[in-house]
Amino acid sequence: MNIVVEFFVVTFKVLWAFVLAAARWLVRPKEKSVAGQVCLITGAGSGLGRLFALEFARRRALLVLWDINTQSNEETAGMVRHIYRDLEAADAAALQAGKGEEETLPPCNLQVFTYTCDVGKRENVYLTAERVRKEVGEVSVLVNNAGVVSGHHLLECPDELIERTMMVNCHAHFWTTKAFLPTMLEINHGHIVTVASSLGLFSTAGVEDYCASKFGVVGFHESLSHELKAAEKDGIKTTLVCPYLVDTGMFRGCRIRKEIEPFLPPLKPDYCVKQAMKAILTDQPMICTPRLMYIVTFMKSILPFEAVVCMYRFLGADKCMYPFIAQRKQATNNNEAKNGI
């Protein structure tokens, strides 16, 4: 095709993409069904991972839960089984009333499987993935959610904690994706969800390792999305989830300027996950919560660095992690004193 003609075609496609994006705001796309599909969630034992598990359970997905903490992972599984029992009871009541739907799954299909897995260890990921394939089947939805934070200033952070943060928050995404993507490519079907952070789009002081890991995983996700498009594997969807500070206790003590805080409070975990689920089930490529994060990211891209610094200082975002780090340090000192170290 002549390059001039192609240029106009591309221009039209770009404008049409804007039209479609605007249409999604006005008319919400229909959510797809994940009933009967195998959904694997890392870091499912607590926080957002647990809430993702409950949301997928309500939509009748077969769940595979990974977490390093066996007890908390089993607690999540117990909550999922309770949801399954409620669904089965509702199905039975509907059938008795003669109102059963064809797509209602039989009770035996509603199952949850738990695996103790340290996603920061490559071989552990590959071995556990092989067990999942043998005992459950191929994964259709992969939710890479597991995450850690060291809570130390750079020069006070032990090297092993920096490495741990990078392994769990970033490298693990490579390993889980390499484990389950091949089958998705074969059948051209699947969905990979990357739970990142707004700190993977813009940064702040005091959490260099965490920001680096999240920036890394955002880059990984975007490159993977482009690779799938280049391979014309349109049946495999990707969703990047970048929430603002979520009130899970992970960053307890983090504070922005008190006058600004009422307008930008930490997100409720339930709200964050429900918004992410809407994006996942409508094949939305990316979601920032709240939407203000889109504007912040855009401004960071076009403003001079000194202008960004001024804005950070005005919002109190330049040192927002310092109270959190101080609390972490105090807790560490208390534990050492308690253990007689």
Enumerate the active-site residues.
210
Q: What distance in Å separates the CA atoms of residue 236 and residue 251, rounded to the nearest whole number?
A: 33
Per the listing, tokens 């780090």 go with 325
Full DSSP string of 189-238: -EEEEEE--GGGTS--TT-HHHHHHHHHHHHHHHHHHHHHHHTT-TTEEE
Residue 207 in contact with residue 157, Cβ under 8 Å? Answer: no
Pick left, alpha or beta for residue 204 (phi over 0 → left; psi -120 to 50 → alpha; otherwise beta). Answer: beta
H or E element, residue 269: helix 269-281
Please calculate the CA angle 61-64-66 and round it to the nearest 5 degrees: 145
Query: Which two three-digit tokens encode residue 109?
Result: 């299909």
b/e per residue 244-277 (b: at least 16 CB within 10 A) = bbbbbebbebbbbeeeeeeebebbebeebbebbb
Helical (H) or strand (E) element with 242: strand 236-243
Burial of residue 119 (CB within 10 Å: 0-12, 13-18, 19+) is buried
In sequence order, what are the beta bridge partners of 141? 39, 191
For residue 125, is it left (φ>0), alpha (ψ between -120 and 50) or beta? alpha
Among the listed residues 84, 83, 50, 54, the one whose alpha carbon sits nearest the alpha carbon of residue 67: 50
Q: Which amino acid is at 284?
A: Q
